[in-house]
Amino acid sequence: MEIAIALFDHCTALDAVGPYEVLSRLPGAAVHMVGERTGPVRTDTGMLALHVDTAYDEMPEPDIVVVPGGFGQRDHREGSALQAWLQKADQHTSWTTSACTGALILAAAGLLEGRCATTHWLAYGDLAALGAQPTDERVVFDGKYVTAAGVSAGIDMALSLAARCAGDEKAQSIQLGIEYDPQPPFDAGSPTKAPRFAVDAVTAVRDYIV
Amino acid sequence: MEIAIALFDHCTALDAVGPYEVLSRLPGAAVHMVGERTGPVRTDTGMLALHVDTAYDEMPEPDIVVVPGGFGQRDHREGSALQAWLQKADQHTSWTTSACTGALILAAAGLLEGRCATTHWLAYGDLAALGAQPTDERVVFDGKYVTAAGVSAGIDMALSLAARCAGDEKAQSIQLGIEYDPQPPFDAGSPTKAPRFAVDAVTAVRDYIV
C-alpha cells in the first residue's frame, strides 16, 4: 500500500506527522513524503524542516494521499504543482485525505465539491467558499474523501482510516503502540468548549494558521 | 526561551513533533532541532526524516530540553554525543523532559536517579533498571524533570509544561489552536484498557519500539 503525504513550505508539521505515525504502522504500508522537489521543507513556524524523499512525478498512483494544512496552503490553488499532482493522483487513490486546512487544498482542486468535510474551526467559511459543506465533526468520511479538523485531529482521522484499511483490531493495536490514551490537561480543544479568551486569542492570529 | 529538541537516528517522529507543535507556540519560544550533526535524521520507520538545524555544541545552554524515544535510544548510553551534551545542558535547563523511551536516555545519563518518571508501557522495567521509579501516569513531573508515556503522550506533556511556563490561559489557547479535542475511535490507548490481542500484538514487536 503506497501512502503519499504531501509536504510544502509552511505546512503544519503535526498535520503530516500525526497521520504518518499511525499509517506507517499499517501492514504492508510504505509511506512516502512527497513534494515538488526532494530535500527539506520548512514548516509554518520556521523552526522545523521535514524531508521530502519523493518528487510528485515519481509517485503518480498512490493508494492513499494525505494533505496537511498550515498557512502555506494558500500557495496551492490553481496552477500549483501540488494541485496538478493531486488531481491526477486522486484518480487512482482508494482514499484521499486531509488534516486541518489541507481540506482547502483538496477543495480548491475540485475534489470536495458538494461533499461533507471538515477543517480547522477557523476555516469553515473558506471551505464553504470552495464548494464543500463544512461540518464541525472531528473526522468526516464522504465516500473516499476523509477530512480531519485542526492539526491534532489528523491522528484520530488516521486511526479511523487504519480501521477501514486493516480492520478494527489492527487499528487498536496501532493505538496501543503509540499509547494514544489522550489526557489533555484542559478541556479547551474546540471553540465550543474553550474559554472565550482562548477563542479570541486564536482568532487574533488567524493569519498564522489559515 | 531556547528549547532544544534532540533528534537521533531511529527516533520516533511524533515523540519530537508533538511537543514541538505545542512548545513552538509559547511566547518568545525558539525551538531548535539539535543533533550530533546538522542535516536529515531518519526516524524509526525509515520513512520520514526530520532535519537537525543545530549541532549539540552550538546549543550548550538551553532552557528546555526535550528527548524523544524510539528504538534508536539504545545507541545513547554512556559515551554517546547525546549523553555528553545532555549532562552538560541539564545543568542550565529550567526543564529537562522526555517523551516515550526518551526517558531511558535521561535515566542512562543519571538524570532520573531515584526520581518518579514514566515511559512507554513496554519499557517500565528498563526504566527501573536505570535507576528511576516508573509510574503508569501519562505525564510525570518530578522537580524540573518531566517525562511522558508512549509517543502521543508528548502532546499532553507539552501542554502541561506550557501551562507551567506561560500560564493556564496560554496553554488553553495553544490547545485550541491545534484543536486538541481528542476523539480516538477506540478506547485502546493503554494496556489497562486495550483488548488482550492488542497488548500481545504490540508486545510481539517490542524490538521495534523500545
Backbone angles phi and psi of A143, in degrees to 5 = 60, -130
Please give the model's pTM, rounded to 2 decimal places: 0.98
Query: Which residues from chain A sit within 8 angstroms of residue B175, using beta carbons?
Result: 184, 186, 188-189, 194, 198
Residue pair A149/A117 in contact by the 8 Å Cβ criterion: no
Per-residue confidence at B189, pLDDT binned at 50, 70, 90? very high
User: Residue B79 has what pLDDT?
Assistant: 87
Query: Which residues from chain B sit within 8 angstroms of residue A209, using beta carbons?
Result: 177
Nearest Cα of chain A lies from the Cα of B172 at a distance, in angstroms, of 6
Residue among A48, A71, A105 nearest B177 (CA)? A71
Contact criterion met (CB < 8 Å) for B151 and A180: yes
**Non-local CB neighbours of B200 within 8 Å, separated by 6+ positions:** none
CB atoms within 10 A of CB B32: 18
Return the H-helix or E-strand segment holding B134.
strand B133-134
Nearest chain B residue to A151, by CA = B178
User: Residue A79 has what pLDDT?
Assistant: 87
State mean pLDDT over A29-33: 98
Contact criterion met (CB < 8 Å) for B172 and A193: no
Between CA A72 and CA A194 the distance in angstroms is 26
Q: Could you give the ipTM of this predicted complex?
A: 0.97
Buried b (16+ CB within 10 A) or exposed e, A91-124: eebebbbbbbbbbbbbbbbebbeebbbbbbbbbb
User: Residue A145 has what pLDDT?
Assistant: 98
State mean pLDDT over B79-105: 97
Residue among B4, B22, B11 nearest B89 (CA)? B4
Per-residue confidence at A152, pLDDT binned at 50, 70, 90? very high
Cα dihedral A183→A184→A185→A186 (10° resolution): -130
| A42-98 residue pLDDT tens | 999 999 999 999 999 999 999 999 999 999 999 998 889 999 999 999 999 999 999
Q: How far is CA A170 from CA A75, A148, A160, B67, in A?
A: 37, 21, 11, 28
Nearest chain A residue to B181, by CA = A189
Residue among A143, A190, A136, A182 nearest A159 (CA)? A182
Per the listing, cell 520548512 goes with A42
Report CA Rg, chain B. 16
Nearest Cα of chain B lies from the Cα of A209 at a distance, in angstroms, of 8
Contact criterion met (CB < 8 Å) for B179 and A100: yes
pLDDT of B137 > 90? The answer is: yes
State mean pLDDT over A143-157: 98
State mean pLDDT over A134-152: 98
Per-residue confidence at B193, pLDDT binned at 50, 70, 90? very high
Mean pLDDT of chain B: 97
